[in-house]
Structure 1
Amino acid sequence: MTTRAGVLCAGSVVADVAKVIDAYPALDHLATIEQVSTGTGGPGLNMAVDLRLLGAAFDVGMLGAVGDDLHGDLMLAACATLRIDTTGVARIPGAVTSFTDVMVERDGGRRTFFHHRGANALFDGATADLGRSSARILHAGAPGIHETMDTALPGGGNGWSALLRRARAAGMHTNLELVDLPPQRMRRLVEPCLPYVDSLVINELEAGALTGLDAPVPTADGPVDWATLERMALRLIDGGVSTLAVVHFPAGCVAAAPGGRTWRQGSVRLSRTQIRSTTGAGDAFAAGVVLGLHERWPVDRCLRLGAASAAACVTSPHTSDGIPAAGACLAAADRAGYRPTGRPGDDRGR
């Protein structure tokens, strides 16, 4: 990592079509759509966009696939505006750019996703040309929604593990992000990747599916079983993650490193009325952590920026629009304060 700089993001390129509704209807009943907007989305592209919004001064690039349609035009134009290199984004004739209809409840920001895989199903990053990239970090997101990358390879593993292995061999730090999948499928897709992953940033449901541990945190105000969540992170290290495993949830996050070292960070204290949509909050959290890793920050500072970035994200109804530069994120979070972690000295800004 000493002679490299930048982040290369590989995976999902999605057009998020956000539709703010008055309330979720019962089956066969009516909901009113109050707002409609289209923006960038997907665990691959969101990382690239959020890094730029946080003020990343290093190069940011994208590996992925879009169709030759209007949504493809919009995604590439957004990347151009943010100076995200799309040399590695294939434009596939006849394909539909992947999109998600995001139904966001007006009060509280709960959301439901209706996803069309489209061009993402055709993305093949296993043989992507990494030799031209001088990126310090390869971010991959996410197994489970890319048919080609998810397919098992004859020699073992899958497209994701092949991409991560090649990135590691090229001298990149590798970071992996996930989406919620049934536990058996999650383990089948992700376990072959873990030996080639340097950092992993996932939520408690994804971590529970991988580790077999259960510590649900349904609300930001708890209760929180911090000890079990730390065990999740430590078990991910035991599973092959080489440097840092981070598990985030509404009340905060935990992290673990080899040797048994753990960290805790509370989430930012926001009222329900401040939360417009939680869409993209996990990606925003991951972007804060990855920016800090790229800049070689201490882990506690990386986690604090992750929490601050996620908090900024949820104040907007759109996936990334609420995220300002890292300094502004941290200043706003420090003013609001952080939720307690049950460990003295961890709750700075309260």
Structure 2
Amino acid sequence: MRVTAKQVAEKAGVSLATVSRVINRSGYVEASVRARIEAVMAEVGYVPNRTAKNLVTGRTKTVGLIITSLQSPYFIRLTEGIQDVLENKGYHLLLCNTKFNAKIELENLQLLREGMLDGVITSTGSLTHEVMVELIRQHYPMVFINRLFDEVKNEPARAGFVMGDLHYAGLNVTRHLLEQGHRQIAVLYGSANSTSNILRLQGMEKAMADYGLRPRPELLRCVPNPPELSSGLDDTEGVWAYRETMELLQTHPEVSAILVFYHPMLSGIMKALREVGRKVPESVSLVGFDDFPLAPYLDPPLTVMGQPVYEIGRAAARLLVQKIEDPTLRVAEPIVLKPDFTIRRSIAPVPARYPAMAAE
């Protein structure tokens, strides 16, 4: 037979209201009384009836997080930041891995529409702008990470936006390379429609414009995300990055630096560099975006422009909880956090024996 909160109150010698405050983590309860109630709950095996509570409050105390990969260190760290805040606020986290599949993402967002989630944090780009704008305009509590929508920029909505300063990242990495004498700078990135990639490329363009230069379109290489790849066991980001890098270096040997916007590509890029005899950093500089645990242990250690991923996760979770608990809250401007530029040994000035690399 299920133990009730009333029975817990009787056994602990307190009111039902006091037990309710302990269960819901709301209101003041003296520490000794709280400890006595929790001891009784453990003794009798009391489990709160969440379904009944949800019917009363109209909330599930559950938040969805939609990501594209469970293997990425970026998403692991992001999830940690989100979960730490939600646990402290008394919310549960439902993790949804889309594997870059728009259908899976839409199915998970349907849980929000059906009232099974109080809100959603999403850090994907699988769905079209039109679909996401429609959701935003329906005033569901949502927070987007590293994604913006100009269509709703000036509209009141319950959506919020948290991101790293991606324009700053692209600008400062490129500026540093230009100061080292690099002019033939290549970029390998994922989706061409990604807000992250667009802003980084705009930052790169601004840095080069300050030097009277422009990025060369033939050196900007888009490596497809998994759903865009043809079927086959070898069609991973690393394999495709390897093929793209081999073609790039064969047709443009003057390339002196490569920016990598998505670190799963690095294995393929570094394999290609080894095979063509381009040693890092002696004959080509290499820079990654978004730091990851193995970056300092690569040979050579990788220079990275890293987003404060954990803090981005925490900021997104705090903002979503605020929007859930205060439906009138409107945050017009995105929350933007500065990245960290960690210079290691994978970049160097353009070598004098490669004059074509410094040609403008």
Tell me the TM-score normalised to structure 1 length: 0.30
Specify which structure has the higher proportion of helix.
Answer: 2
Is the radius of gyration larger for structure 1 or structure 2?
2
Structure number with the bigger relative contact order (C-alpha 8 A, sep ≥ 6) is 2
Structure with the higher fraction of residues in strand conformation: 1
**TM-score, scaled to structure 2:** 0.30
